[in-house]
Amino acid sequence: MSGMTTATVAARPATRPAVLILLGPPGAGKGTQARMLEERFGLVQLSTGDLLRAAVAQGTEAGRAAKAVMEAGGLVSDEIVLAILRDRMAAPDVARGVILDGFPRTDVQAAALDDLLCEAGQEVTAAIALVVDDEAMIARVAGRYTCAGCGEGYHDSFKVPARAGVCDRCGGTAFRRRADDTAETAGARLAAYHAQTAPLIAYYEGRGVLQRIDAMGTIDEIGADLADIVSRVSA
Ligand code: AP5
């Protein structure tokens, strides 16, 4: 693979749990890679998209407010996202270390994360930017589906179950597709990414914790590059 990883990651006391951020546009592979890292390193994947979809499914007040915004491909308000994130970060399993998937997405969220970590005597270990082409992202998003039982992610062309119609991970046979995984909504999500989230790459670069990965390769190639980084910064 690329070997395009850059930047020096600041040394961190070994006793602190890792706080890793995956940055990248919709379809970059954040969720796919976060689940692989979770299994390999025992870290906890924390996806604000998953937390918001759960709130929508449960019909909570936050979920009702977020639903239309998500279906249109916009960003949910910082207030709602931060309330959900704070709740999740307070859970005991987070002490194992986290992979933040889809958070932060705005400068307000990045500052709030810094404050939250500071209160806990922690800091961002590494922010990893998955670098991809916009055109390829539409194809990845449009072909995506997940297991209804365990959430394992698949793709019509790029990642199919070993046995057709049966989840590799849990054996489930029911699958679903996201309401916002249309070519039209993916365009709006990409626009939101470039306007509000991509500037965070420079923010973390200035902090000396940014790593870049060429994420146009195969899932396994990207996974190997990511594992190298995580091994290094978690050592
Ligand atoms: P969220 O759920 O975070 O969606 P997203 O950022 O748009 O990212 P995706 O889940 O679409 O993509 P991914 O990078 O995880 O790719 P994946 O691994 O699935 O957010 C949804 C919405 O919630 C947002 O639009 C917003 O409204 C709201 N929201 C969430 N967080 C928020 C926040 N912090 N602030 C405000 N609003 C927020 O891969 C995609 C597909 O490609 C899969 O099928 C996979 O199998 C395949 N694939 C993966 N890698 C590869 C590869 N290397 N080659 C080929 N195929 C691949």
- 176 contacts 148 by C-beta, under 8 angstroms: yes
- Other CB atoms within a 10 A radius of the CB of residue 66 amount to 23
Each residue's pLDDT tens digit, 66-108 = 999 999 999 999 999 999 999 999 999 999 999 999 999 999 9
Is the CB of 105 within 6 Å of ligand 1?
A: yes
Distance of CA 127 to the CA centre of its chain: 11
Kindly name the residue from 12, 67, 189, 212 that is annotated as catalytic: 189
Q: What is the pLDDT of residue 33?
A: 96
The CA 14 to ligand 1 mean position distance, Å, reads 30
Is the CB of 219 within 6 Å of ligand 1?
A: yes
- Nearest in space to 55 (alpha carbons), one of 69, 44, 43: 69
- Other CB atoms within a 10 A radius of the CB of residue 20 amount to 27
Please say if 177 is a catalytic residue.
Answer: yes
Please say if 64 is a catalytic residue.
Answer: no
Tokens standing for residue 55: 């709130």
Q: Of the residues 46, 76, 220, which should be mutated to test ligand 1's pocket, given the most ligand atoms within 8 Å of the CB?
A: 76
To the question of pTM greater than 0.85 for the whole model, the response is yes
Q: Per residue of the chain (235 residues), what is the pLDDT tens digit?
A: 444 544 444 444 445 789 999 999 999 999 999 999 999 999 999 999 999 999 999 999 999 999 999 999 999 999 999 999 999 999 999 999 999 999 999 999 999 999 999 998 999 999 999 999 998 888 889 899 999 999 899 999 999 999 999 999 999 999 999 989 888 888 899 999 999 999 999 999 999 999 999 999 999 999 999 999 999 988 7
213 DSSP β-pair partners: 130
Q: What is the pLDDT of residue 98?
A: 96
Question: How far is the C-alpha of 37 from the C-alpha of 184, rounded, in Å?
Answer: 30
Question: How far is the C-alpha of 122 from the C-alpha of 114, rounded, in Å?
Answer: 9
Residue entry with tokens 């070993």:
162
Please say if 67 is a catalytic residue.
Answer: no
Tokens standing for residue 129: 């930017």
- 168 contacts 66 by C-beta, under 8 angstroms: no
Each residue's pLDDT tens digit, 162-178 = 999 999 999 999 999 99
